[in-house]
Amino acid sequence: MTEFGGFAPTLTDAEAGPTSGGSSTIQGVGGRVDTNLVIIGSGPAGLTAAIYAARANLEPVVLAGSAPGGQLMLTSDVENYPGFVEGIQGPDLMAAMRAQAERFGTRLVDTDIDRVDFSERPFRIWSRGTEYRAQSVIIATGASALWLGLDSETRLRGRGVSACATCDGFFFKDQVLAVIGGGDTAFEEATFLTRFATKVHLLHRRDTFRASKIMVDRATANDKIEIHPNTAVDEILGESKVEGLLLSDTKTGEKRQLDVGGAFIAIGYRPNTEAFRDWLDVDEKGYLVVHDETGSKIDGVFIAGDVHDHRYRQAVTAAADGCKAAIDAERWLEAQGITEAATATAW
């Protein structure tokens, strides 16, 4: 089983700027990099966008973030990404996507962006002292699953601890599972997991739920789901895989152990949109709002993947979004006369 990591950076911050220039689209000037397209984020959305944009000769620069590879770096087996009959380890899939993007000339910098200025073109993006100026931008910064923050949870991620029932439920046939959370996602995941599990314990710190009544009613009516209000998870038990949970009653403090084979953390996601909120529309949960497939309210700024999509949240849908955003960016650059029509390749 591949461990988290093994994802070597291509270009460090120090190497990123100034660059030596020498290509038609990327020139380093002082602490500055000029390019036709900056892609922010290197999960499935960002790297797929890079593959498409690089093959269209846009020579994209990917600001890959401090978590290069994105969310799939946090998981082991991925069995639902098409093309891998036996499945593939998340980090291996992301390393392959990155190598594929690099093969066509993508330059990657493993750095988080600090801020952006989208008031005029070229758009300006700052990261650790380097300024990137781009004629177009694809934002693919994803969303981060929220975790309980326990050491045992981190240690057992991908070994029975998950944040995605759609992705990992299948691995837990005929097991007793726990879902932690009290919102719609937790109830939805608990209900979904009853397709595989013999029993699902839904654990929530409070005695009221944020979930809608219909979701609570559905779960309550499901014989396989047992709801435990006022219940906190203090520890996830097991050496190499999840074997149980150490729980405490949030009212009485009473401790108890619950034997489970898997723990699904469903306490929410945080969309990585802080840097863009002054410039682009966000919805009530903080996700970016897309206009016309991958567009934003600013011409030339495109959006792909989980940073806007809290409905599907899958690698394949994020990758598809990255493809669409790259094609839209390429066509937009061509329509502006920034790139020549000849630049466009047959996709």
| Shortest Cβ 255–ligand FAD spacing (Å) | 28
To the query of whether residue 323 is one of the catalytic residues in this protein, the response is: no
Q: Rule CB under 6 A: is residue 142 a binding residue for ligand FAD? A: yes
Q: Rule CB under 6 A: is residue 163 a binding residue for ligand FAD? A: yes
Q: Rule CB under 6 A: is residue 60 a binding residue for ligand FAD? A: no
Q: Rule CB under 6 A: is residue 106 a binding residue for ligand FAD? A: no
To the query of whether residue 167 is one of the catalytic residues in this protein, the response is: yes
Going by C-beta distance under 8 Å and a sequence separation of 6 or more, which residues neighbour residue 278?
A: none
Burial class (CB in 10 A: 0-12, 13-18, 19+), 226: middle
Looking at the Cβ atoms of 86 and 223, the one nearer to ligand FAD is: 86
Strand partners, 82: none
Q: Rule CB under 6 A: is residue 238 a binding residue for ligand FAD? A: no
Q: Rule CB under 6 A: is residue 113 a binding residue for ligand FAD? A: yes
Going by C-beta distance under 8 Å and a sequence separation of 6 or more, which residues neighbour residue 52?
A: 322, 323, 326, 327, 330, 347
Q: What is the DSSP string of 161-200?
A: EES-HHHHGGGGTT-EEEEE-SSHHHHHHHHHHTTT-SEE
Among 110, 168, 306, 321, which one carries the catalytic annotation?
A: 168
Burial class (CB in 10 A: 0-12, 13-18, 19+), 250: middle
**23-31, 77-85, 100-108, 197-205 -> range binding ligand FAD (CB under 6 A):** 77-85
CA 196 to mean position of chain CA atoms: 25
Q: Rule CB under 6 A: is residue 41 a binding residue for ligand FAD? A: yes
Burial class (CB in 10 A: 0-12, 13-18, 19+), 294: buried
Beta strand 231-237 pairing with 244-249: antiparallel
Looking at the Cβ atoms of 278 and 340, the one nearer to ligand FAD is: 278
| Shortest Cβ 207–ligand FAD spacing (Å) | 28
Among 110, 167, 321, 328, which one carries the catalytic annotation?
A: 167
Place of tokens 């993508």: 106
Q: Rule CB under 6 A: is residue 164 a binding residue for ligand FAD? A: yes
Quick check: bond before 18 cis, omega within 30? yes
Q: Pick the binder of ligand FAD from 35, 71, 89, 136 (CB under 6 A).
A: 71
| C-alpha span between 48 and 305 (Å, rounded) | 10
Among 13, 112, 117, 164, which one carries the catalytic annotation?
A: 164
CB 231 within 8 A of CB 249: yes
Q: Pick the binder of ligand FAD from 39, 64, 109, 219 (CB under 6 A).
A: 64
Sign (positive or negative) of CA dihedral 260, 263, 267, 268 = negative
| Shortest Cβ 274–ligand FAD spacing (Å) | 7
Q: Rule CB under 6 A: is residue 20 a binding residue for ligand FAD? A: no
To the query of whether residue 234 is one of the catalytic residues in this protein, the response is: no
**60-68, 194-202, 216-224, 237-245 -> range binding ligand FAD (CB under 6 A):** 60-68
Q: Pick the binder of ligand FAD from 36, 75, 296, 339 (CB under 6 A).
A: 75
Looking only at residues 248 through 287 of this chain, which bind ligand FAD when binding is defined by CB under 6 A?
Answer: 272, 275
CB atoms within 10 A of CB 40: 29
Both tokens assigned to 24 = 């038609």
Place of tokens 């654990």: 203
**115-123, 147-155, 163-171, 211-219 -> range binding ligand FAD (CB under 6 A):** 163-171
**4-12, 156-164, 193-201, 232-240 -> range binding ligand FAD (CB under 6 A):** 156-164
- Residues labelled as active-site residues: 164, 167-168
Binding site for ligand FAD (CB under 6 A): 40-46, 63-68, 70-72, 74-75, 78, 80-81, 112-113, 140-143, 145, 162-164, 167, 272, 275, 305-307, 313-316, 318
